[in-house]
A and B are shown apart, each in its own frame.
Chain A
Amino acid sequence: MNDMRFVETRVTTNEAKFTAKDVQVYYGDNHAIKDVSIDIEDKTVTAFIGPSGCGKSTFLRCLNRMNDTIDICRVEGDILLDGEDIYDKKVDPVQLRARVGMVFQKPNPFPKSIYDNVAYGPRIHGMARTRADLDEIVEKSLRRAALWDEAKDRLNAPGTGLSGGQQQRLCIARAVATEPEVLLMDEPCSALDPIATSQVEELIADLRTRFSVVIVTHSMQQAARVSQKTAFFHLGDLVEYGDTGHIFTNPEDPRTESYITGRIG
């Protein structure tokens, strides 16, 4: 734990982007998320940590309603995005997902060209009038994902032909291309080597200036390096939530302490 550097340990005063109140998630009879209430701040990187199966991914997927695609999954409670209930009957999850982007654990580029991967979101949301507009969006997104230099000469090559780290950055470029307000990342670096990981981490630090980022990670070091806020989940409970520096140096709950010192998990 010696290499833990805290990028920023200020006490944030940002507004809440997401507000969750008494959220319960069930998979059939399995009560996967119990009574979770949390405020996720704007322009902040929030890390979700906790042992496997504690419900980090499940809760993350509630934030853009990806759980809707799982038949047996049931969500109760309120989750507000900018004060609006995203589980309201009138909300179309497709519209929500255009505002809340997601990057998955395993890089999953479409089996199409690099260009088409990035351009897909803007295309279906009608964000570009002309081909030139679209070119510009693609370039901007690839630059933000730090992939432009590597990809600019092979935009028509298949995205699946890139290396793992490049693929994950392509997925990030694809996610940011639709200009989301929040970016959800579920263990984005678990399939990457250390160099690719540090590239993605730099990217996250950069993205924070425009979006709110929520990242699930298994690496305590990563949480410490990239996040300002950390939430610790355990068996479906949100055990502790606060400033990253505080959680790592001064955890209040004994479960948090034993997890970050490596005794459980």
Chain B
Amino acid sequence: MTDTNASRTAPKASLLTIDSHTKRRQAAEKRFRVYGIVAIVIGMLFLAVLAVSIIRSGLPAFTKTIVEVEFTLTQDEFDAAEKQLFKTKAYAGYFNAALLTKLREQGLDVEVDAKAIERILGKTGGTIREFYRANTEQIGQPVAFKLAAASRVDGYFKGRVSRDTLQDSRFMQLSDLDLVDALYSAGIIRQVFNWTFITGADSGVDNPGGAGIGASVVGSFFMMLVVLGLSLPIGVAASIYLEEFAPQNRITDFIEVNISNLAAVPSIVYGILGLSIFIQVMHLPQSAPLVGGLVLTLMTLPRIIIPARAALKAVPPSIRDAALGVGASKVQTVFHHVLPLATPGILTGLIIGLGQALGETAPLLLIGMVGFVARGYPDGFIAGFTDPNSAMPAQIYTWAARADVGFYEKAWGGIIILLIFLLTMNILAVILRRKFERRW
């Protein structure tokens, strides 16, 4: 009581003057706000740097350099070439002549020798002969040949190769670049969208131009089907059982601790587990999306179970009481009321878990899912769960490890594709959460 009396008799401070205590509090609040903003700005900065560098390094993978020359092969020329000993050389001669004519038409006067064209375009004769032998009806018709330029020419257009860095070698000479420039101003050589990169399979180590990520997208797709098909039912059933039905005792406590621990186990451990169990003991095929999917399922399960249980736990107990109170059974309570309310949380956890699985590399390396897939894809579609294949992150890893600098942009381009998939999944997670979210 003495306290209140004392404060009553003390002179009243005006609300308009700020005392030292208030000043300190306001300063602390301001400081905290500044810290927060600084943290966010730093975070955004890193994100921006990351995005810019990925896009800058990766975009070139989506274009390729081609030479397009239209020319007509007469029946006589065809017959003459077929009679020769070096048949492809004859075809290359026709092609080179057509190319030269094109350049002359544009009024460009450069040295053109067969060797230089071979360095720029590779051996053209074989391709042309193949074409005419397969399409004899095209003889006598104008045909536009689109031939991929060599890796160094491609690099020249993308800034990877320049006159300063290029050293004369049997692959390319400085003088070839004059020819390339002339072809460019004649509109014969140009950059086009590289569909091969989207749909193709990996190529040989010396052919970065022909490398595509398509086959490994298919591999990842089959792998994720396995992960989804196994981890969704198992994960959701396990969380529902543990959260809603299991008695609280030592055994469930033990299981709970173990699930939390498993979520923190490094993914490479799952890889070696998969190698020894699925491949060495169960003799499942190596490099197969099935095995990759199984390994990733093991890794993903705890990462799905933990958020799913949290989502179930977050459903207010009053809803369970309400359902039980009107005579619903335990199972009815869970499936009619608890699960629908937990669905947004479960789905979010599921999609984030799948996203992690999609980007996981280390376990795939151990089970050999870096398989080099160059068979007839896309004509021979890699359709199976058991056909050897690669997966997106493993493919990116493979490219990044290759010596030819041409693969560098492929690795970054692959990362762009991977990020597009992950971004799509995250957007899907947000949409699903919005759709299923209900207030209570």
Residue on A nearest B315 in the bound complex, by CB: A111
Q: Are B321 and A104 in contact (CB under 8 A)?
A: yes
Evaluate contact between A120 and B440: CB separation under 8 angstroms: no
B contact residues around A177 at 8 Å (CB)? 326
Contact A160 B440 (CB under 8 A): yes
Question: Which of chain B's residues have a CB closer than 8 A to the CB of A120?
Answer: 323, 326, 328, 336
Q: Which residues of B contact A66 (CB under 8 A)?
A: 321, 324-325
Which of A108, A109, A124 meets B328, CB within 8 Å? Answer: A124
Q: Is the C-beta of B329 less than 8 angstroms from some C-beta in chain A?
A: yes
- Tell me how many residues of A have a C-beta within 8 Å of chain B: 27
Cβ-defined partner of A95 (8 Å) among B316, B323, B327, B438: B327
Q: Is the CB of B322 within 8 A of A104?
A: yes
Interface size class of B (residues with CB under 8 A): 20 to 34
CB of A71 within 8 A of CB of B332, answer: no
Q: Is the pair B322, A171 in contact by a Cβ cutoff of 8 Å?
A: yes
Determine whether B439 belongs to the interface, using a CB cutoff of 8 Å to chain A: yes
Known: A71-B247, A120-B326. 10 other contacts (CB 8 A): A102-B325, A103-B325, A104-B318, A108-B322, A110-B319, A111-B341, A120-B323, A124-B326, A174-B322, A178-B326
- Residue B169 is within 8 A (CB to CB) of chain A in the complex: no
Cβ-based interface call for B2 (8 A): no
- The 0/1 profile, CB within 8 Å of B marked 1, for residues 175-189 of chain A is 101100000000000
A30 to B65, CA, bound (A): 81
A66 to B333, CA, bound (A): 13
Is B190 close to A, CB under 8 A? Answer: no
**CB<8 Å pairs between A and B, sample of 14:** A97-B326, A98-B326, A101-B327, A102-B321, A104-B321, A109-B322, A110-B323, A111-B319, A111-B439, A120-B323, A120-B336, A121-B327, A124-B327, A160-B440
A104-154: which have CB < 8 Å to B?
104, 106, 108-111, 120-121, 124-125
**Would A108 and B332 be within 8 Å (CB), given that A124-B327, A175-B326, A178-B327 are in contact?**
no
CA A104 to CA B337, docked complex, whole Å: 17
Say whether A157 faces chain B, with CB atoms less than 8 Å apart: no
Residue of A nearest to B332 (CB): A124
Q: Are B319 and A108 in contact (CB under 8 A)?
A: yes
Tell me the bound Cα distance from A102 to B327 in angstroms. Answer: 10
Q: Which residues of B contact A178 (CB under 8 A)?
A: 326-327
Determine if A111 and B440 form an interchain contact, defined as CB atoms under 8 angstroms apart. Answer: yes
Check: A64 CB closer than 8 A to any chain B CB: yes
